[in-house]
Amino acid sequence: MIDFSTKYLGLDLKGPIVVSSTPLSESLDNIRRMEDAGAAAVVLTSLFEEQLILESKALDEDLARGTESFAESLDFLPKQADYRVTQDVYLEHLRKAKDAVRIPILASLNGATPGGWVRFAKEMEQAGADAIELNTYALATDKNQTSVVLEVQLLELVESVCQEVKVPVSVKLSQSFTSMASLVSRLEQVGARGVALFNRFYQPDFDIEALEVRPSLHFSTSSELLPRLHWAAILYGQVDLDIAITGGVHTAEDVLKSIMAGASMTMMASALHIHGIDHIGRVLADMQYWLERHEYDTLWGTRGGLSRRSVPDVSPFDRGNYIKTLSSYSLRQTVAAF
């Protein structure tokens, strides 16, 4: 029997597959099924900065009924009804999830700017969260907002959440940063214990008949894994915080590649929406078969084996890869033409 155990944020995980933040975990029954299928931990869906600000403003409004500024300030925020759960329902669900299963439960906060709303991290901790995943989804749409300002804002946000709680904090990052290794190193300095690579961006689609721009959500495929493998392999060994991969993890091969790149664990969302929660068990069985066939005793022993610091030729990770890829393509085309 292969030892699948891993460690993430100082938590002992029984295996490498964690359920990523998704509405599937809004049902306690599903969380139990996730544990039974072999999930090593569950990240709950997010509470959003906008929602927390809205709820605290609503509370202020209750306390000082009649202030005009309240109604005006709500204009730019989604309506309260757009969010699936309130803070209280969230905390209650978190407590029940902790009672229902033995695997770690991570709470998720989702926001972009520092502010009083991060105090909610403390309530998540008090409700029993084993760790906080902070999703820092931000879009720079203002031409005056420089990358330096954005990064400083992100670091301040992460630092303020880390100062709020004793449980470990991981940061779910977007892929679009100019200097990823430097940023992740600075996240470590302000207190983050892990990074989850990467957020998926949900670009809206354009309906040219209705002349409307609409939100669109499609599930991932394994092809989305490649940039995550690339950055995990580059970061592994350069930084001390743990790496999780989220985005494009569907098969045993995807999980094995991720661990070999240097990740401590992988997360699944789309695969479970497409194939069902029991998919976790099938992927673990396929991994077991592969590891036995290649005579590994532990999964941990494979970690980082294909990272940038482990492979003899680092050019696939650097500019050399770019040149080789383009050159080999034109060569094939030329041969085909003759």
* Interface contacts to ligand FMN, rule CB under 6 A: 20-23, 45-46, 108, 110, 135, 172, 200, 220, 224, 246-249, 268-271, 273
Distance CA 29, CA 35 (A): 10
The rounded distance, in Å, linking the Cα atoms of 309 and 318 is: 12
Residue 19: CB minimum distance to ligand FMN, A: 9
To the nearest whole angstrom, how small is the minimum distance from the Cβ of residue 251 to ligand FMN? Answer: 11
CB atoms within 10 A of CB 93: 21
Helix (H) or strand (E) holding 187: helix 180-189
Which of residues 127 and 134 has its CB atom nearest to ligand FMN in the complex?
134
List Cβ neighbours of 114 (8 Å cut-off, separation of 6 or more).
153, 156, 157, 160
Question: Exposed, middle or buried: residue 294 (CB in 10 Å: 0-12, 13-18, 19+)?
Answer: exposed
Q: How far is the CB of 108 from ligand FMN (least distance, A)?
A: 5
> Closer CB to ligand FMN, residue 21 or residue 30?
21
> CB neighbours of 225 closer than 8 A, spacing ≥ 6?
245, 247, 248, 249, 254, 257, 258
Q: Which amino acid appears at position 102 of this protein? A: R
Of residues 105 and 308, the one with the C-beta less far from ligand FMN: 105
Q: How far is the CB of 225 from ligand FMN (least distance, A)?
A: 8
**What's the closest the beta carbon of residue 272 comes to ligand FMN, in angstroms?**
8
Give 177 or 296: the residue with its C-beta nearer to ligand FMN.
177
* Least Cβ distance, residue 173 to ligand FMN (angstroms): 11
Which one, 270 or 307, has the nearer CB to ligand FMN? Answer: 270
Dist. CA 277–CA 269, nearest whole Å: 10
Q: What are phi and psi of 304, to 5 degrees?
A: 80, 5
- Considering the complex, state which of residue 248 and residue 308 has its C-beta at the smaller distance from ligand FMN: 248
Which CA distances in Å does 138 have to 148, 153, 186, 208?
14, 10, 18, 27
Strand ranges in 136-221 using DSSP code E only, listed in sequence order: 169-173, 194-197, 205-207, 212-214
Question: Between 161 and 308, whose beta carbon lies closer to ligand FMN?
Answer: 161
Greatest pairwise CA separation for the chain in angstroms: 80
Beta-bridged to residue 265, according to DSSP, are 244
**How far is 64 from 89, CA to CA, in rounded Å?**
24
Q: Which residue's CB is nearer to ligand FMN, number 191 or number 248?
A: 248
Q: How far is CA 214 from CA 18, 81, 202, 270, in A?
A: 31, 19, 11, 21
Q: Cβ 222 to ligand FMN, closest distance in Å? A: 9
Shortest reach from residue 338's CB to ligand FMN, in Å: 41
